[in-house]
Amino acid sequence: MATRLGEKLYELRKKRVFTLDKLAELSGLSKSYIWELENKESQRPSAEKLTALADVLGVSASYFIEEDVRQPEERHLDEAFFRNYQKLEPDSKQQLRKILDTFKKKP
Amino acid sequence: MATRLGEKLYELRKKRVFTLDKLAELSGLSKSYIWELENKESQRPSAEKLTALADVLGVSASYFIEEDVRQPEERHLDEAFFRNYQKLEPDSKQQLRKILDTFKKKP
DNA sequence: ATAAAATATTCGGAATAGCGAACTTTAAGT
DNA sequence: ACTTAAAGTTCGCTATTCCGAATATTTTAT
Protein backbone atom coordinates (compact mmCIF):
# COMPACT_ATOMS: atom_id res chain seq x y z
CA MET A 1 0.00 0.00 0.00
CA ALA A 2 1.31 3.40 -0.99
CA THR A 3 2.30 5.79 1.71
CA ARG A 4 2.96 9.15 0.13
CA LEU A 5 0.67 11.10 -2.08
CA GLY A 6 2.45 10.48 -5.36
CA GLU A 7 2.46 6.74 -4.87
CA LYS A 8 -1.15 6.65 -3.80
CA LEU A 9 -2.21 8.63 -6.83
CA TYR A 10 -0.21 6.57 -9.26
CA GLU A 11 -1.42 3.33 -7.76
CA LEU A 12 -5.05 4.32 -7.94
CA ARG A 13 -4.78 5.72 -11.42
CA LYS A 14 -3.23 2.52 -12.70
CA LYS A 15 -5.77 0.42 -10.88
CA ARG A 16 -8.55 2.30 -12.67
CA VAL A 17 -6.63 2.11 -15.95
CA PHE A 18 -6.71 5.86 -16.50
CA THR A 19 -4.19 7.77 -18.53
CA LEU A 20 -3.07 11.15 -17.29
CA ASP A 21 -5.24 12.69 -19.98
CA LYS A 22 -8.26 10.73 -18.89
CA LEU A 23 -7.83 11.50 -15.22
CA ALA A 24 -7.22 15.13 -16.08
CA GLU A 25 -10.44 15.25 -18.05
CA LEU A 26 -12.47 13.54 -15.34
CA SER A 27 -11.08 15.53 -12.45
CA GLY A 28 -10.75 18.90 -14.11
CA LEU A 29 -7.06 19.25 -13.30
CA SER A 30 -4.35 19.54 -15.89
CA LYS A 31 -2.46 16.41 -16.72
CA SER A 32 0.83 18.15 -16.20
CA TYR A 33 -0.13 18.97 -12.65
CA ILE A 34 -1.34 15.46 -11.93
CA TRP A 35 1.96 14.22 -13.22
CA GLU A 36 3.76 16.55 -10.85
CA LEU A 37 1.66 15.35 -7.96
CA GLU A 38 2.60 11.80 -8.79
CA ASN A 39 6.26 12.39 -9.41
CA LYS A 40 7.52 15.44 -7.57
CA GLU A 41 8.16 15.65 -3.89
CA SER A 42 6.87 18.15 -1.41
CA GLN A 43 3.81 19.34 -3.23
CA ARG A 44 1.23 21.20 -1.22
CA PRO A 45 -1.93 20.72 -3.29
CA SER A 46 -5.14 22.42 -2.29
CA ALA A 47 -7.79 20.41 -0.55
CA GLU A 48 -10.02 21.28 -3.48
CA LYS A 49 -7.82 19.59 -6.04
CA LEU A 50 -7.25 16.58 -3.85
CA THR A 51 -10.96 16.19 -3.36
CA ALA A 52 -11.58 16.34 -7.09
CA LEU A 53 -9.07 13.55 -7.61
CA ALA A 54 -10.39 11.52 -4.72
CA ASP A 55 -13.92 11.71 -6.09
CA VAL A 56 -12.89 10.45 -9.49
CA LEU A 57 -10.70 7.72 -8.06
CA GLY A 58 -13.32 6.53 -5.64
CA VAL A 59 -11.56 7.20 -2.38
CA SER A 60 -12.08 9.69 0.39
CA ALA A 61 -10.05 12.87 0.35
CA SER A 62 -8.69 11.98 3.74
CA TYR A 63 -7.06 8.94 2.21
CA PHE A 64 -4.72 11.37 0.46
CA ILE A 65 -4.37 13.71 3.34
CA GLU A 66 -3.94 11.88 6.54
CA GLU A 67 -0.77 10.07 7.11
CA ASP A 68 -1.53 7.26 9.34
CA VAL A 69 0.32 5.29 11.93
CA ARG A 70 -1.99 2.33 11.65
CA GLN A 71 -1.04 -0.64 9.57
CA PRO A 72 -2.76 -0.58 6.17
CA GLU A 73 -4.68 -3.70 7.01
CA GLU A 74 -6.07 -2.26 10.20
CA ARG A 75 -6.78 1.06 8.58
CA HIS A 76 -8.67 -0.67 5.84
CA LEU A 77 -10.81 -2.53 8.33
CA ASP A 78 -11.45 0.67 10.22
CA GLU A 79 -12.57 2.54 7.15
CA ALA A 80 -14.81 -0.25 5.98
CA PHE A 81 -16.29 -0.43 9.43
CA PHE A 82 -17.03 3.25 9.47
CA ARG A 83 -18.60 3.13 6.04
CA ASN A 84 -20.93 0.42 7.24
CA TYR A 85 -21.65 2.20 10.46
CA GLN A 86 -22.69 5.34 8.66
CA LYS A 87 -25.33 3.46 6.74
CA LEU A 88 -27.09 2.24 9.84
CA GLU A 89 -30.29 3.60 11.25
CA PRO A 90 -29.80 6.27 13.90
CA ASP A 91 -31.09 3.85 16.53
CA SER A 92 -28.56 1.24 15.65
CA LYS A 93 -25.84 3.86 15.62
CA GLN A 94 -26.74 4.89 19.10
CA GLN A 95 -26.66 1.35 20.35
CA LEU A 96 -23.22 0.92 18.86
CA ARG A 97 -22.01 4.13 20.43
CA LYS A 98 -23.11 2.92 23.83
CA ILE A 99 -21.33 -0.34 23.30
CA LEU A 100 -18.22 1.54 22.24
CA ASP A 101 -18.28 3.45 25.50
CA THR A 102 -17.99 0.25 27.43
CA PHE A 103 -14.95 -0.68 25.38
CA LYS A 104 -13.03 2.51 25.89
CA LYS A 105 -9.38 2.03 26.52
CA LYS A 106 -8.13 1.55 30.00
CA PRO A 107 -4.56 2.83 30.20
CA MET B 1 -23.82 24.48 12.26
CA ALA B 2 -21.51 26.19 9.79
CA THR B 3 -21.48 25.11 6.19
CA ARG B 4 -18.61 26.88 4.53
CA LEU B 5 -15.02 26.80 5.60
CA GLY B 6 -14.84 30.28 7.07
CA GLU B 7 -17.84 29.71 9.27
CA LYS B 8 -16.62 26.33 10.42
CA LEU B 9 -13.26 27.74 11.34
CA TYR B 10 -14.64 30.73 13.17
CA GLU B 11 -17.13 28.63 15.05
CA LEU B 12 -14.52 26.14 16.20
CA ARG B 13 -12.03 28.81 17.14
CA LYS B 14 -14.58 30.58 19.28
CA LYS B 15 -15.70 27.33 20.83
CA ARG B 16 -12.13 26.65 21.90
CA VAL B 17 -11.71 30.26 23.01
CA PHE B 18 -8.66 30.84 20.88
CA THR B 19 -7.56 34.19 19.56
CA LEU B 20 -6.19 34.40 16.06
CA ASP B 21 -2.76 34.75 17.58
CA LYS B 22 -3.20 31.67 19.69
CA LEU B 23 -4.51 29.53 16.88
CA ALA B 24 -1.74 30.78 14.64
CA GLU B 25 0.83 29.79 17.22
CA LEU B 26 -0.66 26.35 17.77
CA SER B 27 -1.21 25.54 14.13
CA GLY B 28 1.88 27.13 12.66
CA LEU B 29 -0.06 29.31 10.24
CA SER B 30 0.01 33.07 10.21
CA LYS B 31 -2.85 34.81 11.92
CA SER B 32 -3.44 36.97 8.89
CA TYR B 33 -3.98 33.93 6.78
CA ILE B 34 -6.30 32.31 9.27
CA TRP B 35 -8.26 35.53 9.30
CA GLU B 36 -8.51 35.38 5.54
CA LEU B 37 -9.70 31.80 5.66
CA GLU B 38 -12.40 32.81 8.08
CA ASN B 39 -13.49 35.96 6.32
CA LYS B 40 -12.69 35.86 2.65
CA GLU B 41 -14.52 33.85 0.06
CA SER B 42 -13.15 31.40 -2.44
CA GLN B 43 -9.94 30.50 -0.74
CA ARG B 44 -8.16 27.40 -1.90
CA PRO B 45 -6.08 26.37 1.10
CA SER B 46 -3.73 23.44 0.89
CA ALA B 47 -4.72 20.20 2.49
CA GLU B 48 -1.62 20.59 4.62
CA LYS B 49 -2.78 23.83 6.18
CA LEU B 50 -6.28 22.56 6.69
CA THR B 51 -4.94 19.49 8.43
CA ALA B 52 -2.81 21.60 10.75
CA LEU B 53 -5.88 23.59 11.73
CA ALA B 54 -8.05 20.51 12.07
CA ASP B 55 -5.54 18.89 14.39
CA VAL B 56 -5.42 21.87 16.70
CA LEU B 57 -9.17 22.31 16.67
CA GLY B 58 -9.87 18.66 17.31
CA VAL B 59 -11.73 17.78 14.17
CA SER B 60 -10.88 15.69 11.16
CA ALA B 61 -9.55 17.42 8.09
CA SER B 62 -12.43 16.03 6.13
CA TYR B 63 -14.79 18.04 8.30
CA PHE B 64 -13.41 21.11 6.54
CA ILE B 65 -13.34 19.50 3.16
CA GLU B 66 -16.28 17.28 2.54
CA GLU B 67 -19.75 18.50 2.32
CA ASP B 68 -22.18 16.05 3.69
CA VAL B 69 -25.78 15.10 3.28
CA ARG B 70 -26.22 13.98 6.85
CA GLN B 71 -27.71 16.29 9.41
CA PRO B 72 -25.00 18.14 11.30
CA GLU B 73 -25.77 16.60 14.67
CA GLU B 74 -25.74 13.13 13.27
CA ARG B 75 -22.56 13.78 11.39
CA HIS B 76 -20.95 15.10 14.50
CA LEU B 77 -21.94 12.04 16.48
CA ASP B 78 -20.65 9.81 13.72
CA GLU B 79 -17.31 11.49 13.61
CA ALA B 80 -16.87 11.46 17.34
CA PHE B 81 -17.81 7.81 17.35
CA PHE B 82 -15.24 6.99 14.71
CA ARG B 83 -12.53 8.90 16.52
CA ASN B 84 -13.23 6.89 19.63
CA TYR B 85 -13.43 3.65 17.75
CA GLN B 86 -10.03 4.18 16.20
CA LYS B 87 -8.43 4.46 19.60
CA LEU B 88 -9.62 1.07 20.71
CA GLU B 89 -7.55 -2.06 20.94
CA PRO B 90 -7.75 -4.24 17.82
CA ASP B 91 -9.72 -6.88 19.73
CA SER B 92 -12.29 -4.38 20.82
CA LYS B 93 -12.52 -3.12 17.29
CA GLN B 94 -13.20 -6.58 16.03
CA GLN B 95 -15.92 -7.15 18.58
CA LEU B 96 -17.57 -3.94 17.50
CA ARG B 97 -17.35 -4.90 13.87
CA LYS B 98 -19.11 -8.15 14.60
CA ILE B 99 -21.81 -6.35 16.46
CA LEU B 100 -22.18 -3.95 13.57
CA ASP B 101 -22.76 -6.87 11.25
CA THR B 102 -25.73 -7.98 13.27
CA PHE B 103 -27.18 -4.49 12.91
CA LYS B 104 -26.88 -4.33 9.16
CA LYS B 105 -29.99 -3.34 7.29
CA LYS B 106 -32.25 -4.50 10.05
CA PRO B 107 -35.62 -2.76 9.53
C1' DA C 1 11.45 -0.97 -39.42
C1' DT C 2 8.94 3.08 -39.71
C1' DA C 3 4.99 5.98 -39.12
C1' DA C 4 1.28 7.25 -36.50
C1' DA C 5 -1.03 7.42 -32.28
C1' DA C 6 -1.14 7.37 -27.48
C1' DT C 7 0.90 8.52 -23.39
C1' DA C 8 4.19 10.84 -20.46
C1' DT C 9 7.34 14.76 -19.28
C1' DT C 10 9.22 19.40 -19.41
C1' DC C 11 8.87 24.27 -19.16
C1' DG C 12 7.47 29.28 -18.89
C1' DG C 13 4.48 32.10 -16.72
C1' DA C 14 -0.12 33.86 -14.71
C1' DA C 15 -2.60 33.54 -10.66
C1' DT C 16 -2.81 33.16 -5.84
C1' DA C 17 -1.47 31.05 -1.23
C1' DG C 18 0.49 32.40 2.63
C1' DC C 19 3.61 35.35 5.32
C1' DG C 20 5.40 39.48 8.31
C1' DA C 21 4.66 43.79 9.73
C1' DA C 22 2.01 47.83 10.05
C1' DC C 23 -2.25 49.54 11.18
C1' DT C 24 -7.03 49.72 13.32
C1' DT C 25 -10.41 48.46 16.51
C1' DT C 26 -12.05 46.64 20.85
C1' DA C 27 -11.58 45.62 25.81
C1' DA C 28 -9.83 46.53 30.44
C1' DG C 29 -8.03 48.99 33.94
C1' DT C 30 -7.18 53.23 36.44
C1' DA D 1 -11.94 59.95 29.77
C1' DC D 2 -7.39 58.31 28.87
C1' DT D 3 -3.93 54.66 28.41
C1' DT D 4 -2.36 50.36 27.54
C1' DA D 5 -2.89 45.92 26.00
C1' DA D 6 -5.16 42.56 23.34
C1' DA D 7 -7.52 41.22 19.43
C1' DG D 8 -8.62 41.80 14.68
C1' DT D 9 -7.70 43.69 9.83
C1' DT D 10 -5.15 45.38 5.90
C1' DC D 11 -1.39 45.34 2.73
C1' DG D 12 2.73 44.49 0.00
C1' DC D 13 5.59 40.94 -1.25
C1' DT D 14 7.67 36.23 -2.16
C1' DA D 15 7.06 31.54 -3.08
C1' DT D 16 4.23 28.13 -4.91
C1' DT D 17 0.34 26.21 -7.27
C1' DC D 18 -1.47 25.02 -11.39
C1' DC D 19 -2.12 25.57 -16.23
C1' DG D 20 -1.35 25.29 -21.54
C1' DA D 21 1.55 24.28 -24.98
C1' DA D 22 5.62 22.19 -26.60
C1' DT D 23 8.51 18.26 -26.50
C1' DA D 24 9.84 13.53 -25.60
C1' DT D 25 8.93 8.78 -25.04
C1' DT D 26 6.39 4.51 -25.49
C1' DT D 27 3.05 1.68 -27.82
C1' DT D 28 0.60 -0.03 -31.72
C1' DA D 29 -0.11 -0.91 -36.36
C1' DT D 30 1.32 -1.76 -40.95
Listed residue (B91, B89, B46) closest to B64, CA to CA: B46
In whole angstroms, what is the distance from residue B71 CA to residue B92 CA? 28
Per the structure, the residue whose CA is closest to nucleotide D20 at C1' is A30
- pLDDT tens string B17-27: 999 999 999 99
**A32 CB and strand C closer than 7 A:** yes
pLDDT value of position B39: 92
pLDDT value of position A69: 46
Mutation to test the A interface, candidates B5, B29, B42, B81, most A Cβ within 10 Å:
B81
**A65 CB and strand C closer than 7 A:** no
- pLDDT tens string A38-76: 998 768 999 999 999 998 998 888 888 866 445 555 666
DSSP string across A74-92: HHHHHHHHHHHHHTS-HHH
- pLDDT tens string A74-94: 666 676 777 677 777 777 888
In whole angstroms, what is the distance from residue B2 CA to residue B38 CA? 11
Pick the residue from chain A with its C-alpha nearest to B76. A86
Question: Other CB atoms closer than 10 Å to residue A99's CB: what's the count?
Answer: 14
**A10 CB and strand D closer than 7 A:** no
What is the distance in angstroms measured between the alpha-carbon CA of B20 and the sugar C1' of C25?
A: 15
Mean pLDDT of chain B: 81
Look at the alpha carbons of A6, A12, A59, B95 in this order and tell me if their dihedral is positive or negative.
negative
pLDDT value of position B95: 82
Q: What's the CA dihedral at A93, A95, A100, A102 to 10 degrees?
A: 170
pLDDT value of position A24: 95
Taking 50 as the pLDDT cut, the residues of chain B under it are 1, 68-69, 106-107
